[in-house]
Chains A and B, each alone.
Chain A
Amino acid sequence: MSRDIQVSRRRLLRAVAAGAGMGLLAGCDALSRKQGFIDVLASTEPLNRRVQRFLTGDRLAEEFAPSMISPVFRPNGSIDPQTPEYLALKANGFGDYRLRVRGLVERPLEFSLEALRGLPTRTQITRHDCVEGWSVIGSWSGVPLATLLDAARVRPGARYVVFHCFDDLAGDGGRYYESIDLVDAYHPQTIAAHTMNGEPVRVSNGAPLRMRIERKLGYKQPKYVHTIELVDGYARMAGGKGGYWEDVGYDWYGGI
């Protein structure tokens, strides 16, 4: 009799545990489908940005010895863009490529690759952290974004820098884009890189020009950049969240 009670109690406990477990899982899944709940979760994103910036200021990302450079700089996202404008430029060895700086600037500018290579260059051997979790180390040379912005003279109302790219990652006719604020734009390690590991940037890594924004995850460092646009907001652009991955739910901060 008492054994029966024990067995049934054990069974009850097991059922309660299993029920609670199933309920919890179902609950988490249901909540994950509710945009309102995701918005609540996302409310910590500005906290991450503010606290992390407060704690670290404008320090530089660690730079490594050449011996640390990864044998393969693993590409991700677009690795071989097929948009017509990109294919045309690629066929010509990017000889006709122009980087445009426009938007809220006093003086819109255009640079050929040759002109960019003639500008002051910063070289840095840094670690690239993908949002998926892996890291690779590469050497990058390019023009500090601050140099380009100063040359174009940013107007007072500008708050963000938007990067427009050649690649159509989703294959839906849209184009990859990203945005950062002026804090990251003027960081000394934020460069428009034309050279990787001593050679022109390869197609898989963002030829002819990609951004290096070293305090951000990989998706915040766009490849195949053709236009740098100064804006006062990005809400009316594409999905309105400030970037290709942001439009599908990733955080705009992208610093953790």
Chain B
Amino acid sequence: MSSIVAPDIAPTRKHEWRTILRHRWPLRLMHWINLLCMLAMVGSGLQILNAHPALYWGEASHFDRPLLATQAVIRDGELRGATRVGGARFDTTGVLGVSGDARGKPTSAVVPGWAMIPGWRDLATGRRWHFFFAWAWVINGLCYLAWSLASRHLKRDLAMRRVDWRSIPRSILDHLRFRHPVGDEAARYNPLQKLAYLAVIFVLTPLIVVTGLSMSPQMDTGMGWFLALIGGRQSARTLHFIAMAAFVLFAVVHVVMVVYAGPINEMRSMITGRFRVRYPGAETLAPPAVTDSAETGARP
């Protein structure tokens, strides 16, 4: 992006649309497998949490002082949802602790049915889902890592370069101003995006896998070093939950960014791989948004 002024002669060439191949097919396929696995993991994970909706810190559960607990209580003859965070207590009727069943009648399901797999209390089936999709997710993730290394996707598209570090402040401003990148810059990941992806791949993913494994009494015979590091199995369970929440937060921001950056173009780039990039003509940099009128300028 530069602001070098060079007079443009042809008025029809204010800007130019180019279609590029943004994501190759293995990446697109793995992206959607990843989404499927993550939905299954979060839903079944909440089912598992629902069996004992309290989190603790340390090796064992101190039932009288959870970090976070939610339960159904009867107050003034009414079923209410109560959630405890440390020493503070909140009424969370309708979301946590108590929510309406299919007929709207309050039930004491701690996690609402729509957020659980299956939608009713069934720990055994929830565990089946969780452990199946855990394997699928990990294998998919390893394939992604192998492909990203082999195809140089990691090095070329994701690795932070010196210029990325330097342009972080500007990227933050661009995001705050809702200013869309154009040209070659639009075809690349911006530094904040790179950092988010790298954090998910190299921090959150290992964390959620290791904390998940270290809840297994069999695995713990060989993972004492990890439990010693974090304080014990109940710490692992809490961190597993926090990592899940971070994944969900990432996914929400990710979807918001897709909608904000042009949902159709972005979705197409992850389905067919084709992504349309606007290259500005020299005389104008002004209208940033992908508009319907620009659609006609598409070139395969």
Contacts and interface: CB of A to CB of B under 8 A. Distances in A.
Interface of A: 2, 5, 13, 24-25, 28-29, 32-33, 38, 40-45, 47-48, 52-53, 55-57, 59-62, 64, 68, 70, 72, 74, 127, 129-137, 214-217, 245, 248-251, 255-256
Contacts of A29: 117-120
Interface in B211-255: 213, 215-222, 224, 227, 232-234, 237
Nearest to B48: A133
Interface residues of B, number: 47
B230 to A, nearest CB: 14
Given A28-B43, A41-B132, A55 B215 contact: no
Given A130-B52, A134-B52, A47 B61 contact: no
A61 to B, nearest CB: 5
B59 interface: yes
B279 interface: no
Report whether over half of chain B's contact residues are helix, strand or loop; otherwise say mixed.
helix
Contacts of A60: 221
Nearest to B263: A13
B283 interface: no
9 contacts: A47-B135, A56-B222, A62-B227, A134-B54, A215-B221, A249-B124, A249-B125, A250-B124, A256-B218
A137 B59 CA distance: 8
Contacts of A41: 128-129, 131-132
Contacts of A127: 59-60, 217, 220, 233
A215 B216 CA distance: 8
B219 A55 contact: yes
Contacts of A256: 131, 213, 215-219
A1 to B, nearest CB: 11
B215 A131 contact: no
Contacts of A62: 220-221, 224, 227
